């Protein structure tokens, strides 16, 4: 069953281009990854949303995701509230609306 993950980020002042450029350098042919998009959600805030073939593919890609994060971790600002640098969520699709 299709799965999605979403990760919220806040970028340090003046580092937006570095954050986005780091994602352009990432290998994106991970098994099971169908689509991935970064959306700008506010001033210096972004969210990456990715679609996966299933939860197993998403779980298998976690080491790649962590390695990717390590490549731009210095561009991120703590989200506060005990979250740290990222606010990730993931899960299987339970209702397809369109």
Domains of the chain, CATH where assigned: 3-80 (3.30.70.100)
pTM of the predicted structure, to 2 decimals = 0.91
Q: What is the pLDDT of residue 27?
A: 84
Instruction: Quote the pLDDT of residue 28.
Output: 82
Rounded Cα gap, residues 82 and 26, in angstroms: 28
CA distance 91 to 93: 7
List phi, psi (to 5°) of 59.
-65, -40
Q: Can you give the pLDDT at residue 9? A: 98
Q: Which residues of the chain have pLDDT under 70?
A: none
């Amino acid at each position: 069953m299709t799965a999605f993950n979403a990760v919220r980020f806040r970028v340090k002042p003046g580092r937006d281009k570095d954050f986005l450029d780091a994602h352009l350098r990432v290998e994106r042919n991970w098994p099971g990854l169908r689509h991935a998009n970064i959306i700008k959600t506010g001033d210096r805030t972004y969210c990456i949303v990715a679609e996966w073939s299933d939860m197993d593919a998403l779980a298998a890609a976690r080491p790649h995701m962590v390695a990717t994060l390590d490549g731009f971790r210095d561009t991120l600002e703590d989200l506060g509230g005990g979250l740290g640098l990222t606010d990730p969520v993931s899960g299987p699709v339970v209702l397809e609306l369109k």
